[in-house]
Amino acid sequence: MKRALLCAVLALFGIPAIQIARPGSFYAEEPEKNKEDTSLERTRKQVKILDDLYKTAVVSITNKYVEKQSDTPAAAVAKEIFDAMHKKGWHTARLVDATGKPKNKENLPLTDFEKKAVAEIRAGKPYYEEITQRDGKRLLRVGTVVPSVLPQCAICHGGKQGKILGAIVYELPVD
């Protein structure tokens, strides 16, 4: 534990742990692998935080403001927030349909990743990820399940509570 903590602190200052290691010392460790694993885990945690935040907001907005099918759906507000985050350079997030009958055709899965994420979610997985490269940098792509959790969801989307409606697909750089 001490070694991992020291390596993490050193990595924050850009000092590879191997540079200070003495032969036989507990400080000797492979710093690049450790840094990559730490960065990936930190990015995964960011996705989980964002997912909880966005889904909590959608449910809260729906509970407070959506009473009938003609009301503005909370998903429309979520899409505005996703767009704002993207424009500010933070990350991308997108609602993707998993029913095959989207309310908005723009929500159909477009990329191979989105299609695979939807297939995995329809097969029962609540989370699907892929690590890829873009412009020489690692990128974490994640799809998380969006079920119908409220009566208002079921009214607008047809069906019953618990039905899988889609996914939120995230793309974040692994820094």
Q: What is the mean pLDDT of the chain?
A: 82
Q: With respect to residue 34, please indicate whether it lies within any of the assigned structural domains.
A: no
114 in a structural domain:
yes
**Beta-bridge mates of residue 140:** 131, 172
* Position 30 in a domain: no
Residue 75 included in any domain: yes
CA distance 93 to 171: 7
Q: How confident is the model at residue 35 (pLDDT cuts 50, 70, 90)?
A: low
Residue 7 belongs to some domain of the structure:
no
End-to-end CA distance of the chain: 23
Q: Assess if residue 139 is contained within a domain.
A: yes
Whether residue 145 has pLDDT greater than 70: yes
Which tens digits make up the pLDDT trace of 56-104? 999 999 988 888 777 888 888 999 999 999 999 999 999 999 999 888 8
Query: pTM higher than 0.85, yes or no?
Result: no
Domain count across the chain: 1
Burial readout 77-105 (b: 16 or more C-beta within 10 A, e: otherwise): ebbeebeeeeeeeebebbbbbbbeebbee
Q: What residue numbers bound the domain in which 60 lies?
A: 39-173
Q: Residue 57 sits in a domain of what CATH number? A: 3.30.450.20
Give the torsion sign (CA, 49, 63, 161, 78). negative
49 in a structural domain: yes
Q: Round to whole Å and give the CA distance between 104 and 90.
A: 25
**Higher pLDDT residue, 143 or 3?**
143
The answer to whether position 3 is within a domain reads no
Q: Is 148 strand, coil or helix?
A: coil
Residue 15 has pLDDT above 80, yes or no: no
Task: Judge contact between 165 and 153, C-beta under 8 A.
Answer: yes
Least confident of 19-28, 81-90, 127-136, 166-175: 19-28
d(CA 20, CA 45): 30
What is the residue type of 36? E
pLDDT at 171 over 50: yes
